[in-house]
């Protein structure tokens, strides 16, 4: 029997509804709405789509959205000045600098400037340390969303074998840390890993965050495993089609035949990322306003 398809869209929808209720309560208590500032440099089409959908979701959740679009040739001091201004602005609870930045800009220096209390992407050193030390902080949205789906599906993750494929700062590393914090036994695989298929075959939980279309095959999956596919890859268009199909890093149908549960692409992890961004913004707003964060 084929594995269950985890409906990330529905889960994220329910989460966004709860956030909407929390955002209304926050506005009532604080006398202002929670606010998220998104900074977009240049005109990369994918980034523009992401930023527009983040802005829409923020407003739909009853929060204030501040969009700052800077030209592709903006210089480092001007970008840093904007971040400093947002740090100082009491209406702004969360700051997200859309990555990647154009190559002439130093993204690490920009991220380092963000006030950790407003770092809703969880990328500052302070928040990386908080995650490692199991202290309160703001943690990267995509891995946090993956954890919510995993815990919803599996409950307690203690003692389960997990493999995370990918070790980026944005996804792979924080994902592995969250899994360790939840008492899973974690292997981090990457481009130098030997016998990747064998490594994956041992795992009760597979998180694929690679960026290679359908790389993880069905015969790599342990029967009954839970598979979380973070990858978003656009294939070349079929003849006559304007756009290629979106696929994940996992060969979905093959893997589904063996897995206990699997996230689809699209409609799996993607919607969770935006929902957690809103959640992080609301958590930051409570902390910044000195109001205790509701459970
Ligand atoms: P990166 O390119 O930063 O990292 C990719 C990782 O995959 C690296 O650690 C790399 O290893 C590893 N890798 C590359 N090739 C192989 C291979 N053949 N075998 C094993 N490991 C390999 O990507 P991101 O982490 O930023 O993103 C990963 C994917 O997730 C992308 O498809 C991206 O679009 C998607 N994504 C989706 C989001 C969502 O909301 N659903 C959000 C963020 C990302 P090494 O370190 O050795 O180079």
User: Catalytic residue at 54?
Assistant: yes
pLDDT tens for 144-159 read 999 999 999 999 999 9
Determine the atom of ligand 1 nearest the C-alpha atom of 165: 21
Same domain, 112 and 61: yes
Q: E strands within the chain?
A: 4-5, 35-41, 64-70, 94-97, 161-165, 185-189, 205-208, 226-229, 233-234, 246-247, 261-262
In a domain, residue 292? The reply is: no
- Residue 124 forms part of a structural domain: no
Other C-beta atoms closer than 10 Å to the C-beta of 14 total 10
The strands making up 94-97's β-sheet, listed across from edge to edge, are 64-70, 35-41, 94-97
Ligand 1 atom 35, closest CA: 231
Say whether both 103 and 182 belong to one domain: no
**Weakest mean pLDDT among 124-128, 191-195, 255-259, 290-294:** 290-294
Q: Is 166 annotated as a binding residue?
A: yes
pLDDT per position as a tens digit, 71-85: 999 999 999 999 999
Cβ atoms of 226 and 206 closer than 8 Å: yes
Q: How many A from CA of 190 to the centre of ligand 1?
A: 9
Nearest CA to ligand 1 atom 30: 231
Q: Which tens digit of pLDDT belongs to each residue from 224-274? A: 999 999 999 999 999 999 999 999 999 999 999 999 999 999 999 999 999
Which residue out of 121, 204, 229, 249 is catalytically annotated? Answer: 121
Report how many domains make up the chain: 2
Q: Annotated catalytic, 98? A: yes
Predicted ipTM beyond 0.90: yes
Q: What is the pLDDT of residues 177-203, one digit of tens each?
A: 999 999 999 999 999 999 999 999 999
Residue 46: which pLDDT band, with cuts at 50, 70 and 90? confident
Query: Which CATH number fits the domain that encloses residue 65?
Result: 3.40.50.10860
Q: Ligand 1 mean position to 231 CA, how many Å?
A: 7
250: three-class secondary structure by DSSP: strand
- The whole-number average pLDDT for the span 9-35 is 98
Round to whole Å and give the CA distance between 227 and 97.
29
Q: Is the same domain home to 110 and 53?
A: yes
- Both 94 and 196 in one domain: the answer is no
> Could you tell me if 153 and 253 lie in one domain?
yes
Contacts of 191 (CB under 8 A, 6+ apart): none
Q: Which atom of ligand 1 is nearest to the CA of 248?
A: 32
Q: Are residues 184 and 226 in the same domain?
A: yes
DSSP letters, 146-171, are HHHHHHHHHS--TT-EEEEE---TTT
pLDDT at position 1: 81
Provide the percentage of residues in the chain whose pLDDT is more than 90: 98
Q: Is the pTM of this model over 0.90?
A: yes
Q: What angle do CA 276, 96, 209 make, to 5 degrees?
A: 55
Domain that holds residue 85: 31-117
Q: Cα of 163 to ligand 1 centre, how many Å?
A: 14
In a domain, 223, yes or no: yes
* Mean predicted lDDT score pLDDT of the chain: 97
- Which residue's CA is the nearest one to ligand 1's atom 8? 166
Domain boundary at 82, 117, 152, which? 117
Residues 111 and 147 in one domain: no
Residues 193, 153 share a domain: yes
What is the reported pLDDT for 115? 98
> How close is the Cα of 146 to the center of ligand 1, in Å?
15
Q: Are 159 and 202 members of one domain?
A: yes
- Residue 106: pLDDT band by 50, 70, 90 thresholds? very high
Is the residue at 132 inside a domain?
no
Give the CATH number of the domain where residue 173 resides: 3.40.50.720
Evaluate whether 116 touches 127 at the Cβ level (below 8 Å): yes
Query: Which residue's CA is the closest to the ligand 1 atom numbered 16?
Result: 191
**188 annotated as ligand-binding:** no
287 located within any domain: no
What residues contact 181, with CB distance under 8 A and at least 6 apart?
131, 134
- Closest ligand 1 atom to Cα of 171: 25
């Amino acid at each position: 029997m084929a594995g269950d398809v985890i409906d990330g869209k529905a889960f994220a929808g329910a989460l966004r509804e709860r956030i909407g209720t929390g955002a209304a309560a926050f506005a009532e208590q604080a006398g202002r709405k929670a606010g998220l500032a998104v900074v977009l440099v240049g005109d990369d089409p994918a980034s523009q789509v992401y930023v527009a959908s983040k802005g829409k979701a923020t407003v739909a959740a009853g929060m204030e959205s501040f969009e700052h679009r800077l030209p592709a040739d903006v210089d480092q001091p001007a970008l840093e000045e904007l971040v400093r201004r947002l740090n100082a602005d009491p209406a702004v609870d969360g700051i997200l600098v859309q990555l990647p930045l154009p190559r002439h800009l130093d993204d690490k220096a920009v991220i380092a400037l963000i006030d950790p209390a407003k770092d809703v992407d969880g990328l500052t050193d302070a928040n990386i340390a908080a995650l490692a030390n199991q202290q309160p902080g703001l943690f990267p949205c995509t891995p946090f969303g993956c954890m919510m789906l995993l815990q919803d599906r599996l409950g307690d993750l203690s003692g389960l074998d997990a493999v995370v494929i990918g070790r980026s700062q944005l996804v792979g590393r924080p994902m592995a840390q969250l899994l360790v914090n939840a008492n899973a036994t974690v292997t981090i695989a990457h481009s130098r890993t030997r016998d990747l298929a064998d490594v994956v075959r041992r795992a009760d939980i597979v998180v694929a965050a690679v960026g290679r279309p359908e790389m993880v095959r069905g015969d790599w999956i342990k029967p009954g495993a839970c598979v979380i596919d973070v990858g978003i890859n656009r294939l070349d268009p079929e003849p006559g089609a304007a756009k290629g199909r979106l696929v994940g890093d996992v060969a979905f149908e093959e893997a589904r035949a063996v897995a206990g549960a699997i996230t689809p692409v699209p409609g799996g992890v993607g919607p969770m990322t935006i929902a957690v961004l809103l959640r992080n913004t609301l958590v930051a707003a409570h902390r910044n306003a000195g109001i205790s964060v509701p459970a």
